[in-house]
Amino acid sequence: MDPVFLELWQDYWWLIFPLGAGVIGISSGIGKAWERNAKRRHRQRLEILQAKSAIKAASRPAVAPAASDATESHASQLAKLFATHDAVTARWLDYELDVAKLIAFPAMSDGRQPLTAAFLRAQRIADGLRPASPKARLTAEQLSEYRNAVVDYEVAFDVAERDARRLKDSSFTEAERKRLDTAKQLLSIAIDQAATPAERQVAYRRVREELDGLIALSDDAIEVLETQVALELAPGSGSASGSGPEKTDAATPASSTPAPSTPAPTTAAPSAAPPSTTPPPAPNADPWPVPARKAPAPGIRRDPAS
């Protein structure tokens, strides 16, 4: 061995450690670079495979769905849209036909309110685009147009309802609000089953008078209100009219009993018209049967012969 090399080795033997560390670092960097390149090549292969599969799928002829499945899906979509459409209409009719709600939230029937007017426009559009039945044949554009109209209809109602509940009667003057309060109180009497028919009719007329010029009631709302105001006389009239004559006969002496000729139409001719509509021709006899509120005062006696 060369003595010069031995001398250098003896003096610089320690250089093997930094040189070894450098060689190790270089080899490690080369290995990491090769690993990164391998991962990148693998990712590129996967992307190429995915692109090829997408191209093959696009090149295949599209298989049309069965006609029955398309029709069933079309009908189910229309059925859901019809249900949503009818639900919004029912919520609106709760305000339109209920006079109490119209008094509490008058903006729902006021077309001058911007949100209410927008709702009414959306309602007209949705009603105009509604098919005759869920089995109607519509194109994809027509179905999409009707779907958008129903969505607009529902959203417009929600916005108008929230605004009406916020406003209440704030758009009226103090005098008009007093009239609304009076109409609300009279309405509770008009639909009260415990009130007499006369009281209910008077309250009903007063309600119409108080609301005149403030809230426009539709014909359907008036019809519903009149149905609520009208008494069901079929079950109650018999007991009321039966108890009246019994009390009158008990309180009236025997000499004040009407002549036997008065009830003759019912005993002699059962098929004749009711006594209340065809009274006896006698000028001095009272109509039969005599209602309890028409009975003579306790201190007055009538002579049947006169």
Q: What percent of the chain has pLDDT over 90?
A: 30
**Residue 161: what pLDDT?**
94
Cis peptide before 235 (omega within 30 of 0): no
Please name the amino acid found at residue 295: A
Which residues, 6 or more positions from 183, have their beta carbon under 8 angstroms from its beta carbon?
A: 103, 206, 207, 210, 211
Secondary structure of 130-175 in the HEC alphabet?
Answer: CCCCCCCCCCHHHHHHHHHHHHHHHHHHHHHHHHHHHHCCCCCCHH
Tens digit of pLDDT for each residue in 30-56? 888 888 888 888 887 877 877 777 777
What is the spatial distance between Cα 199 and Cα 192, in angstroms, rounded to a whole number?
9
pTM of the model: 0.52
For the ranges 29-33, 206-210, 281-285, the lowest mean pLDDT is seen at: 281-285
**Residue 81: what pLDDT?**
94
Phi-psi region of 213 (alpha: psi -120 to 50; beta: other; left: phi over 0): left
- pLDDT exceeds 60 at position 255: no
**Residue 116: what pLDDT?**
93
Show the DSSP H helices in the chain as ranges: 3-12, 16-59, 67-96, 99-104, 114-129, 140-167, 174-190, 197-211, 219-229, 233-251, 264-268
Average pLDDT rounded to a whole number, residues 219-238: 71
Q: Which has more pLDDT, 217 or 244?
A: 217
Tens digit of pLDDT for each residue in 131-178? 988 888 888 899 999 999 999 999 999 999 999 999 888 888 999 999
- pLDDT exceeds 60 at position 124: yes
Average pLDDT rounded to a whole number, residues 100-121: 91
**Residue 104: what pLDDT?**
92
**Residue 36: what pLDDT?**
85
Which residues, 6 or more positions from 94, have their beta carbon under 8 angstroms from its beta carbon?
A: 101
**Residue 259: what pLDDT?**
44
**Residue 164: what pLDDT?**
93
Q: Which has more pLDDT, 91 or 282?
A: 91
**Residue 151: what pLDDT?**
95
| 252 burial level (CB within 10 Å; 0-12, 13-18, 19+) | middle
For residue 148, what are its two tokens?
A: 């958008």
- pLDDT exceeds 50 at position 306: no
**Residue 1: what pLDDT?**
58
For residue 289, what are its two tokens?
A: 């049967």
- pLDDT exceeds 50 at position 198: yes
- pLDDT exceeds 90 at position 260: no
- pLDDT exceeds 60 at position 284: no
For residue 193, what are its two tokens?
A: 């089953």
Q: Name the pLDDT band for 290 (thresholds 50, 70, 90).
A: very low
| 168 burial level (CB within 10 Å; 0-12, 13-18, 19+) | middle
